[in-house]
Amino acid sequence: MGSAAFVCGGLIVGWRVIILAFSVPSYLLPTPLEVVKVAWLRLPDLWTSLMISAEAATGGLLASIVVGVLIALIFARSQWVRKMFFPVYDSVADRAVPRGGPADYYLGGPGIAGGWCCDVCYVSCTHHCEYYTGVS
């Protein structure tokens, strides 16, 4: 944390030094103090824009979670869907979850969560479940 503050402080000091050393006009590069003053004066507008952006980002995150879980459940419960989309799924899954990769760590190792991941998270765990439990 201290090094980040040091870097930010150094950048602000360097910004001010460049403006003074090269006599850069403020319409080209305002000083850090001018930027803070304008930001403070326009704080209500900035806050409104921040809230709009945060709302859009949160909505997108929630929509992606819902859609992703629904797709995973459909893949987990339907043999017909798995077979129909296998070429697409297989090309994505081989890149997303390599055998012996991070899923072992996050799921607690082989065999511990094997049945659970096959039932709930087919899309992300299929290769691990097949490899460790023989379930497809």
Task: Supply the mean pLDDT for the chain.
Answer: 77
22 vs 25: CA distance, rounded Å: 9
Mean pLDDT, range 125-136, rounded to an integer: 50
CB proximity list for 113: less than 8 A, separation 6 or greater: 107
Mean pLDDT, range 87-95, rounded to an integer: 60
Question: H or E stretch including 122?
Answer: helix 122-133
Sorted by where each begins, the domain ranges of the chain are 65-136
- Is the pLDDT at 111 greater than 70? The verdict is no
pLDDT in tens, 23-59: 999 999 999 999 999 999 999 999 999 999 999 999 9
Mean pLDDT, range 91-99, rounded to an integer: 54
